[in-house]
Every structure is written in C-alpha cells, then in structure tokens.
C-alpha cells in the first residue's frame, strides 16, 4: 500500500474513479487539495470564474454523460456560491459530488475566517452529505459519495473537508475501494412481479392509454425498453420536460411534452386518457395543473426507483417501486409470454389524437415576414435544421427555454439539457461548457436570453482560457420575456422591472474575450449567420438574434384549471 | 390520526438534524421527539409522534426511509404496541396540599423524588393521556414546571426492530 497525504488521496481517488474533469475555484481551505492537483496530470481542473458555474458545468456534464460531475470549492463564500447549482441538481436528480474545503477541525464552530456550516446550509438540497473526520476515511467516504450520488434516484452529495484532513505532512495508507456497502441504503432494483402483472393487465385492456415518461427513464437508461413497449402496444408517448429525448420525437407515437407550455395534443390526450403509465416522472405541479382536476378518467400506474415520488402529488392505483429499465423489461417479458388475446383496438384513440394534432397544425406561430423582427420559434427551427437535430441543446430559463423545448426535436436521450425543477437562470452557459469539454466533436448549442446570459457571462473568460467552443444563440428580446408575459396576462401589461435597459453591446463584449459575435435582426439574415455559426465545431460563436419582444409562449395552461384548459394564442383558448 | 414512528438511526453527526430538518422542510408536524443510544453503539433509536392522514403518514415514512442515515423504521401505531413517556413535574406542596399531592401521586403510581418545604418533584411514567390527566389533577394545587421525555415505544409480542 502507498502512503499518501489526505490531499493526494483525493487527487488519486478521483483518478482511480475515472474522473477526467473537475470544475472549481481555489481558496485557503482548499489549497492543500489544489497543490495535490498541481502535482498530477490525470485529473484536469477547470478554473471557472464563479463557483456557481462550476456546479452547472458539472451538472451539464452529468446530464449528457450519465456520470457524476465533480466540483471543488473552498470554504465559506466558495461553498455558498455553489448552493444554487447544488439545488438545481437536486431538483432534477442529477448526480454530482461537491468537495468543499472547510476550516481546520479545531476551529469549527468558532466563526473562524471563511467558516460556513455548508453541510447545514445544503442539508435540504442534497441527497446526502459527509464531513471528513479523519484523513484515512477519505477513500471510503469519497467512494460512498460517488455511489450515493449516482445510484438509485441520483442527486448531489456534499463532502466537507476540514483543512487539517488534507495536510501534506501526514500520510496514510491508500487503496482504492472498489465497492462500498451501506447498510441503510439499498436502491430499488426489480419491481414486484405481481404489481407488474397488474400493470400489464391494465395496459392491455385500456382504451385510451398514454405513456408518461420522465427523466428517470433517461438516468435509468431505459429509453430502449420504453420504445419497445410503446411499439409493441402502439401506445402514445408523452415525456415530461425532463424526459425529452427518452422517446424519439420523430416517431409518430410521440406527442411531445405536457404541462404549462406543453403541446396541445399531449395535454388533451393526458386529460382524456383512461390509463397513464408514468415512468420515472414525479407528476409535478407544472404538469398536472390543478391536481384535483388531473386526469379525471384515468387510472395511474407509477413506476419509480424512489418510493417517495409515488403517490406524492397524484395517487397511484398501481405503484411499482423499481428501476425503470428492469421494470419495463419485465413488462415486455410478461407481454411476450401472454396468449395473444384479441388486443383492444386503439384506432379510435389514435383518430382522436390525430384530430387534436390536425387542429393545431400550422397554427402554432406566425413566422416573421421579410424585414420584420424574427420570431424566436423560427430561430429554434432553423438551428434544428442546420444541426440536423442531433446537437446537445442546452438552455437557460425563460421564454427561450420553452421555445427551444417546443421547436427543437430530439430523437435521443441526454441531448436536451435544461434546469427544469428549479428553473435556474444562468444555468445554461456553464452547463453547455461542461458538455462541450467532454464532447468536443459535437455541436453544443446554448439557447439563452439576454437576461439569463448576463447571470453567468463572466464564464466567457473560462472559455477563453480552456478553449471551450460552445455555440451561443441569444434570443434577445431585450426583456425578461417570461416575466413580461405573465405581466401581460395578469397585471394589465404593467412591466415592473421586466425590461432590460442598458444592454451591453454584445458584439463588443464577446470580442473583448477574443470571440466572434454575429448580430441578426431579420429573417433574411438568419440563414447566412447560422451557416457561419455552425461552420466549425472548434469556434465559440455568439449569435445575438434580436427577436420580437411581444411574442408569448403558447399553449399556456390556465391557472388552477385542468390540463386541457389552455390559452392557445393571444386570442384563442380551449 | 396520531402515529408513533420509531427508527434506528446511524449514530453519525448530523443524522438527527436530517430527520428534524425533513419534518420542517416538508411541512410535517412533530408532536414529540425522543432520541437515545441503543445497545449497539453505532445506532440510536429515535421515536417521533406525529399527526396526519394516511397520505401524509405514507409520505413521512417514505421520506424518512429515503434518508441515508435511517437504517430501519416502523410505524408502531400500525400494530399492538407499548407506549411510554416519563415526566418530571414540580408542584406546589404547602399545608393541606402536601397530603393531596401525595395521595394523587399514589393513585397515578407516581413517585415523589424530591422534596422541599414548599415543593414536591413528582416522577410519573405512562402513556401521554395518563400524563395529561395527572397534570390536570395537579392544576388546582399549582404546577410549577414540567419536563417530559416525549413518547418512546416498542411493538408488543415477538416483533423486534433490529438489523
Ligand atoms: C435565478 C433566477 N432569477 C429569477 C428567475 C425568474 N425568471 C424566470 S424567467 C425570467 C426571465 C428570463 O429572461 P431571459 O433570460 O431574457 O429569457 P426570456 O424569457 O426573455 O426568453 C425570470 C426573471 C429565475 N427563473 N431564475
Ligand atoms: Mg429576454
């Protein structure tokens, strides 16, 4: 066995765990660890310009790769700056390990310089947290942290590391723990066979079934099984916002995503359905609208690895606790073994769904006439065309996020990257950077707004230092568009602080960091600018697209209504 | 309905705050809380009494189970169980009241564990209603201070909560 200091053990463990990048920012309490990183070459550290960006980079990487993202920050302000990113990851069940420096253990509790009880601060927004009590515990604690972060329903894990735990003078035996066991933590595996049989019975006898698939299908790598099941029974598939890409959107069975700004057909279909097969979703309030009016005719089958998700907001008639992949495969198995009874015809159901699709076809938005300000929707569609629908698409939060989700079409999992549960403005840019670093040969496109981008634009400097060529599409409506939309609808267009005065000259701003920016105002300019932007995968380009600030996101569910109660445009409603 | 949820908890720093934090974070209510070590030095036993309909109790137990530090959990109210609480109470004991307090304590099978010329300290164990009844009975005499442990409980019969 080798003798290593605590700090060297951390660096070494990260290597042994297969971590390629960590994202972070140094400071007093973390300096021993930084020194250890300096003396090795396997783990690459990316120096951000704000710790929040480090967490979002790790998060973006985790969503794209399915592996935990790793963050390193110092105590006090370093750790508190990471809080928003930890909360973002927690809400969307993203695996992340956050290593926080801490003041020396002898000083804890004395309000020492840069002391914050970060374990306490983050307690409600982590899956679990650890404080290192002895340097020799470092390998096992880190292994537990990675295991907990990435298994079951994933989530962020904070590891608090007092400075004396990493002191270079003291050395301990190190070996990489291949496996750890926790007696109190056993993530669900296979579902209950009897429950699965009930689910299959219901599925094969329903007249108006829908699948409702969430992020759990993506993290649980169950897209294939889900797709098989949908094909086998010819089921309509709706994914949550987190589940986008879990089922190919170019499949005719895909109805898109439901909820507040979800597609007309998915909201109608879910409301009218007689059976909802929920997989890895949490039926959150942005989907259900008023829960008491949710799916009045449907029975609910709910598959989830996390039992606390089941019957939390919506009562499940058939709860199944288990990993999505295993449960769906068992369903396929049982279907295969059945006598091929006369299947219930879904023709009427599909006719109804196609009717809803036809109702809205061609009516979703009005593209801009020549010379007119561009519509954000058409910009997203144009980006979809030029990237052939297989870019990594990252968003910030606001109208542009919804437009990106509505008009980019995803055929694979892990390509739609967006802060859904917390809705964190500022998330997008660093998340895109985290992805691009690990997927340099792919297009990574950020759809952002001038509001969101300004929350994390300091990271241009990080892109410059490490050469991270993301493509930034700024849907610039010179306003906090989503806020403005609500003010138009609910506050008689009193635009309290939802405008953006004194916007920077984005071209100059971008050029100051040595990158190229292109400004676009009209439809005529768009295609050439996109050609330029996406010509190579090795250049950061910032496309400042001035879009119509009056545009609203539709459909939009009516507050407190059922899923089917929607505004369809400024003048139409269901 | 009132439920008594009892659990084995990793004897780790921060474990208790995670349990308590969960209750406030998710708007669950805690009526009493009792924690102490067990015969196994790596485990504490924590018992909480709470109120809620079936849906709320299901959520409470599921979320508690989700905490990494919670090793095992039982809702004692689901089966036959024994529930006990210990209370120390100081009451005014002067003149005729001294005899009255003594008599009432005997009826409740309580013990007077400390005595001054003007105050008795009474120790009483039982379920919560019994303790409440004793306090009511003492009210006319004058209750000066109350210290209750909160409910602790255990299932009846062969069932055990262990690893
Ligand atoms: C950190 C944070 N603060 C506030 C909000 C509330 N909020 C949601 S959308 C939005 C406006 C976003 O503006 P912009 O990025 O320009 O996007 P747009 O809606 O104009 O497309 C705001 C302020 C938020 N989601 N996150
Ligand atoms: Mg905007």
CATH classification of the domain holding B143? 3.30.70.1150
Instruction: Express each pLDDT in B84-137 by its tens digit.
Output: 999 999 999 999 899 999 999 999 999 999 999 999 999 999 999 999 999 999
Q: What is the 3-state secondary structure (H, E, C) of A515-563?
A: CEEEEECCHHHHHHHHHHHCCCCCCCEEEEEEECCCCCCCCEECCCCCC
d(CA B161, nearest CA chain A) in Å? 14
Residues B63 and B109 in one domain: no
For chain A, domain boundaries: 2-174, 193-359, 376-553
Tens place of pLDDT for every residue, chain A, 574 residues?
789 999 999 999 999 999 999 999 999 999 999 999 999 999 999 999 999 999 999 999 999 999 999 999 999 999 999 999 999 999 999 999 999 999 999 999 999 999 999 999 999 999 999 999 999 999 999 999 999 999 999 999 999 999 999 999 999 999 999 999 999 999 988 999 999 999 999 999 999 999 999 999 999 999 999 999 999 999 999 999 999 999 999 999 999 999 999 999 999 999 999 999 999 999 999 999 999 999 999 999 999 999 999 999 999 999 999 999 999 999 999 999 887 666 789 999 999 999 999 999 988 999 999 999 999 999 999 999 999 999 999 999 999 999 999 999 999 999 999 999 999 999 999 999 999 999 999 999 999 999 999 999 999 999 999 999 999 999 999 999 999 999 999 999 999 999 888 999 999 999 999 999 999 999 999 999 999 999 999 999 999 999 999 999 999 999 999 999 999 999 999 9
In a domain, B118, yes or no: yes
Can A51 be counted among the known catalytic residues? yes
Determine the structural domain holding residue B94 and report its residue range.
82-152
Whole-number pLDDT of residue A330: 97
d(CA B57, nearest CA chain A) in Å? 11
Is it true that A2-174 and A376-553 share their CATH fold? yes
Average pLDDT on B69-79 reads: 96
Which residues, in sequence order, are CB contacts of A113 under 8 Å at separation 6+?
A28, A76, A103
Which residues, in sequence order, are CB contacts of B159 under 8 Å at separation 6+?
B79
CB contact under 8 A, B13 and A131: yes
Whole-number pLDDT of residue A357: 96
Whole-number pLDDT of residue A343: 72
Report ipTM for this prediction. 0.92
Which residue out of A308, A309, A314 would a mutagenesis test of the B interface target, given it has the greatest number of B Cβ atoms within 10 Å? A308
Pocket probe for ligand 1: among A53, A374, A405, A451, the residue whose CB has the most ligand atoms within 8 Å is A451
Q: How far is the CA of A474 from the centre of ligand 1 (A)?
A: 13
Residues B99 and B40 in one domain: no
Residues B70 and B87 in one domain: no
Residue bearing tokens 């542009």: A400
Residues B25 and B50 in one domain: yes
Distance between CA atoms of B39 and A469, rounded to whole angstroms?
Answer: 59
Can A485 be counted among the known catalytic residues? no
Whole-number pLDDT of residue A316: 96
Q: Which ranges of chain B would DSSP assign to H, the alpha helix?
A: 15-25, 54-66, 96-107, 128-138
Average pLDDT on B54-82 reads: 96
Contact A202, A299 (CB under 8 A): yes
Q: Is the dihedral of CA B14, B18, B19, B23 positive or negative?
A: positive
Whole-number pLDDT of residue A1: 77
Distance between CA atoms of B61 and B73, rounded to whole angstroms?
Answer: 8
Give the E-state strand segments of A8-146 in sequence order.
21-24, 44-47, 69-73, 96-102, 128-131
Q: Which of B79, B95, B124 is the last residue of a domain?
A: B79
CATH topology of domain A2-174: Rossmann fold (3.40.50)
Look up the CATH number of domain A193-359. 3.40.50.1220
Pocket probe for ligand 1: among A420, A422, A480, the residue whose CB has the most ligand atoms within 8 Å is A480
Distance between CA atoms of A63 and A57, rounded to whole angstroms?
Answer: 10
Could you identify the atom of ligand 1 that is nearest to the CA of residue A396? 15
Contact A238, A266 (CB under 8 A): yes
Contact B5, B47 (CB under 8 A): yes
Residue of A nearest to B25 (CA): A124
Residues B57 and B113 in one domain: no
Whole-number pLDDT of residue B163: 86
Class of domain A376-553: alpha beta
Residues B15 and B67 in one domain: yes
Contact A555, A261 (CB under 8 A): yes
d(CA B46, nearest CA chain A) in Å? 15
Whole-number pLDDT of residue A340: 64
Residue bearing tokens 């009427």: A348
Distances (CA, A) of A118 to A50, A237, B80: 17, 41, 42
Whole-number pLDDT of residue A362: 87
Point out the residue among A123, A127, A131 whose CB comes nearest to the CB of B17: A123
Whole-number pLDDT of residue A137: 97
Tokens of A328: 């769906």
Whole-number pLDDT of residue A251: 98
**String of b and e for A65-95 (b: at least 16 CB within 10 Å)?**
bbbbbbbbbbbbebbbbbbbbbbbbbbbbbb
CB contact under 8 A, A184 and B55: no
Within 6 A (CB) of ligand 1 lie A 396-400, 423-426, 449-452, 475, 477, 479-483
- pTM recorded for the entire structure: 0.96
Tokens of A552: 């609203």
Residues B88 and B64 in one domain: no
Contact A55, A71 (CB under 8 A): yes
The number of folded domains in chain B is: 2
H or E stretch covering A407: helix A399-407
């Amino acid at each position: 066995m080798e003798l290593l200091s605590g700090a060297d053990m951390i660096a070494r463990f990260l290597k042994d765990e297969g971590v390629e990048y960590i994202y972070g920012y140094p400071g007093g309490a973390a300096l021993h660890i930084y020194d250890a990183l300096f003396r090795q070459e396997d783990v690459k550290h990316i120096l951000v310009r704000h710790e929040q960006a480090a967490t979002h980079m790790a998060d973006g990487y985790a969503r794209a790769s399915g592996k935990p993202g790793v963050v390193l920050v110092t105590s006090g302000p370093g750790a508190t700056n990471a809080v928003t990113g930890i909360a973002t990851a927690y809400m969307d069940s993203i695996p992340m390990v956050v290593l926080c420096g801490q003041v020396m253990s002898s000083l804890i509790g004395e309000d020492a310089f840069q002391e914050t009880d970060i374990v306490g601060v983050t307690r409600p927004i982590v899956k679990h947290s650890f404080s290192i009590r002895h340097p020799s515990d470092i390998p096992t604690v880190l292994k537990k942290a990675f295991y907990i972060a990435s298994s079951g329903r994933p989530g962020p894990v904070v590891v608090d590391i007092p400075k004396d735990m990493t002191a270079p003078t003291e050395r301990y035996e190190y070996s990489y723990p291949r496996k750890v066991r926790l007696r109190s933590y056993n993530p669900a595996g296979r579902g209950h066979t009897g429950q699965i049989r009930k689910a299959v019975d219901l599925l094969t006898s329903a007249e108006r079934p829908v699948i409702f698939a969430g992020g759990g299908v993506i993290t649980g790598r169950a897209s294939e099984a889900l797709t098989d099941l949908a094909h086998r029974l010819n089921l309509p598939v709706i994914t949550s916002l987190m589940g986008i890409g879990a089922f190919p959107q170019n499949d005719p069975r895909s109805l898109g995503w439901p909820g507040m700004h979800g597609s007309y057909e998915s909201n109608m279909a879910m409301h009218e359905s007689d059976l909802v097969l929920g997989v890895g979703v949490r039926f959150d309030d942005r989907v259900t609208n008023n829960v008491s009016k949710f799916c009045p005719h449907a029975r609910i089958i709910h598959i989830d690895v996390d039992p606390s998700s089941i019957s939390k907001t919506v009562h499940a008639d058939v709860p199944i606790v288990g990993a999505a992949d295993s449960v769906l495969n068992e369903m396929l198995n049982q279907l295969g073994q059945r006598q091929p009874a006369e299947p219930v015809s879904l023709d009427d159901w599909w006719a109804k769904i196609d009717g809803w699709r036809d109702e809205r076809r061609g009516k979703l938005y009005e593209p801009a006439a020549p010379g007119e300000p561009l519509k954000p929707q058409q910009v997203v569609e144009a980006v979809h065309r030029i990237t052939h629908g297989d870019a990594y698409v990252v968003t910030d939060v606001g109208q542009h996020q919804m437009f990106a989700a509505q008009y980019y079409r995803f055929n694979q999992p892990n390509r739609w990257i967006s802060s859904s549960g917390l809705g964190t403005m500022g998330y997008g840019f660093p998340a895109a950077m985290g992805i691009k670093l690990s997927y340099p040969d792919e297009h990574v496109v950020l759809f952002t707004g001038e509001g969101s981008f300004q929350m994390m634009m300091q990271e241009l400097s990080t892109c410059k230092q490490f050469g991270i060529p993301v493509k930034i599409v700024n849907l610039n409506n010179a306003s906090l568009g989503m806020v403005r939309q609500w003010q138009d609808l609910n506050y008689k267009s009193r635009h309290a602080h939802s405008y953006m005065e004194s916007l920077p000259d984005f071209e100059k701003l971008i050029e100051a960091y040595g990158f190229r920016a292109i400004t676009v105002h009209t439809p005529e300019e768009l295609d050439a600018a996109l050609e330029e932007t996406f010509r190579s995968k090795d250049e950061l380009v910032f496309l400042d697209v001035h879009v119509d600030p009056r545009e609203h996101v539709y459909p939009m569910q009516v507050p407190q209504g059922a899923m089917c109660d929607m505004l369809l445009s400024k003048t139409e409603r269901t | 309905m009132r439920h008594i949820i009892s659990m084995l908890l990793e004897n780790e720093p921060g474990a208790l705050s995670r349990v308590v934090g969960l209750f406030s974070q998710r708007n669950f209510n805690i009526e009493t809380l009792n924690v102490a070590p067990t015969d196994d030095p790596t485990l504490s036993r924590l018992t909480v009494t709470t109120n809620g309909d079936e849906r709320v109790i299901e959520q409470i137990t599921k979320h508690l189970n989700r905490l990494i530090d919670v090793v095992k959990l039982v809702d004692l109210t689901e089966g036959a169980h024994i529930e006990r609480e210990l209370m120390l109470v100081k009451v005014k004991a002067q003149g005729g009241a001294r005899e009255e307090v003594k008599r009432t304590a005997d009826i409740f099978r309580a013990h007077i564990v400390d005595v001054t010329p003007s105050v008795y300290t009474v120790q009483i164990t039982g379920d919560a209603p019994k303790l409440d009844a004793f306090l009511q009975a003492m009210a006319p005499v004058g209750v000066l201070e109350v210290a209750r442990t909160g409910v602790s409980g255990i299932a009846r019969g062969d069932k055990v909560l262990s690893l």
